[in-house]
Structures are given as C-alpha cells and as structure tokens.
Amino acid sequence: MKSFTACEICNKHEAEEQCEGCGRALCRQCRQMEIWGSGAEDLTIRYLCPACKEDPDINPWGAYDKVLEAGEAKQRVIRAA
C-alpha cells in the first residue's frame, strides 16, 4: 500500500513538499513557492507554508518585497493628498 502523508495545513490533500521553515508537510494547494537568491545565477526555489511565508525571520526575501510595497503605497497616498 502506498503511504499517504496528509498536508498539515488543510489535512485534505496529499503532501508533496515540506516547509523549509517549520518542516510541516504541504500539498500543492497550500505550498507557497518562494524564489530566493542574490542574483540571476544564484536562485533557489523553496516551499513555505503560508505562516512561514509571512515570517520575516524565515522568509527575509518575501518580507522585504512587502516592505517596499507598503512604502510605495504610502508615498502615493501622500502625493494624492
């Protein structure tokens, strides 16, 4: 019999990846793909659960993008006022 590891986020689908941050099993629907790297030649694809994707300690690249977006949004509001 084929062993079945359920996704630890939704508990419905079969897990295919493991979260790089907390090690929880993730299915295709729940995994969040992040591309980490310092340049075009140095890229690593990592899978994170939704909670770790939002955690800047675990996902510094994703958190950095978010800070930039928030800063830009604020500037637009100031210009419009």
Rounded to the nearest whole angstrom, what is the least distance from the CB of residue 46 to Zn ion in the complex? 11
Decide if residue 49 touches Zn ion (CB under 5 A). Answer: yes
Give whichever of 27 and 34 is closer to Zn ion, judged by the CB atom. 27
CA distance 37 to 29: 24
Decide if residue 25 touches Zn ion (CB under 5 A). Answer: no
- 8 Å CB contact between 60 and 51: no
Distance from chain centroid for Cα 72: 21
Give whichever of 22 and 63 is closer to Zn ion, judged by the CB atom. 22
Among 6, 10, 43, 70, interactor with Zn ion by CB under 5 A: 10
- Token pair for residue 74? 């604020």
